[in-house]
Amino acid sequence: MSKLNKRQRLETTIAGEKPDRVPVALWRHWPGDDQNAAALAAAHLKWQQDYDWDLLKVGPSSSYMVTDWGVRDKWVGHIEGTRQYTHRPIQTPADWEKLAPLNPDEGALAVQIEALRLVGEQMGEEVPFIATIFSPLSQAKNLAGNSVMLSHLRSHPNAVKRGLEAITESTIRFVEAAKATGISGIYYAVQHARYPLMSWDEFMAWGRPFDLRILETVQDLWLNVLHIHSSDIMFDAVADYPASIVNWHDRETGISLRRGLEKIRGAASGGVDQWTLHQESPEQTLEEVKDAIAQTNGRRLLLGTGCVAMVTTPLRNIRALREAV
């Protein structure tokens, strides 16, 4: 087979056909740089220049979608690059009803739009790039803290529902603004399809309907990635979401790539545990790469990790994963 460009390689993979090689991509957080549009764009452009990934996921701080509602946080050195929350504006059930949809042309949302614009300006059509979007429940968790959010959801459902409606509308407005930057799709992070956090019925009532409303707005884009976060996940609750690629912690959940591909459309993303990648040397990473390709016969696979790479991951391990394909 002749060499494919990145879009052709991904489209071939999503269609279930055999590409010229397995596509590969890693993503990570960029603490500090994620507070400034130019710095965040520069970090991603260098990341792409160094490793030539088949797609570029633009990784903002986890709080960017809620900062303009009054969330405060800081980076204190976590190796995942995540930030510590120092103030959450939702304290009482009544606070949910105070939320109004945000303007993507202002504040932290505008910073992220500018970062996407700068990335798109440099990438053009050569490298598909996608925007990170957190589900309404994930944003609600960041606004209140998970235990408070769940307590309010169960004790004052009407108030929380009004808050989730505002969050969903705010998210849709941001996504529409992001489309103008040239994104190929979104990376949609679902963090509450997990039995330790919610029951099946709770997620189906409070997670899925809002998720589907947002995903409906991106069906005009060709490269939407669903991320199912953590272990003990309700895989079947989201497996039919309209996404081209599904990313999950396949090495931690007990749902292997082979098993997951029986349930989803499109392709799977993963194959390597982010903690395996974080080891001192790349030998085990390369074993997991080999196993992932064997499980899938090199089809319907975007090789990578189940979640973000640690900011302290040895560079030779990253190079080894990239060079393995």
- pLDDT score of 304 more than 80: yes
Torsion of CA 128, 125, 63, 270, to 10 degrees: 10
All residues at 6 or more sequence positions from 197 whose CB lies less than 8 Å from its CB, including other chains:
146, 150
Residue 86 domain flag:
yes
Contact 243, 188 (CB under 8 A): yes
Residue 239 domain flag:
yes
**Structural domains of the chain, count:** 1
Strands 72-74 and 84-87: antiparallel
Q: Could you tell me the pTM of the whole model?
A: 0.98
pLDDT in tens, 263-287: 999 999 999 999 999 999 999 999 9
Q: What is the DSSP string of 64-114?
A: TTTGGGT-EEE----TT---EEEE-S--SGGGGGG--PPPTTSHHHHHHHH
Q: What is the DSSP letter of 28?
A: B
pLDDT in tens, 24-76: 999 999 999 999 999 999 999 999 999 999 999 999 999 999 999 999 999 99
pLDDT of res. 1: 75
In one-letter notation, the amino acid at residue 249 is H
Share of the chain above pLDDT 70, in %: 100
* Tokens found for residue 52: 């030539």
Residue-averaged pLDDT of the chain: 98
Residue 1 domain flag:
no
Residue 132 domain flag:
yes
Mean pLDDT of 223-243: 97
CA dist., res. 32 & res. 282, Å (int): 28
> Which CATH number does the domain housing residue 70 bear?
3.20.20.210
Which residue range is the domain that position 162 belongs to?
Answer: 6-323
pLDDT in tens, 99-158: 999 999 999 999 999 999 999 999 989 999 999 999 999 999 999 999 999 999 999 999
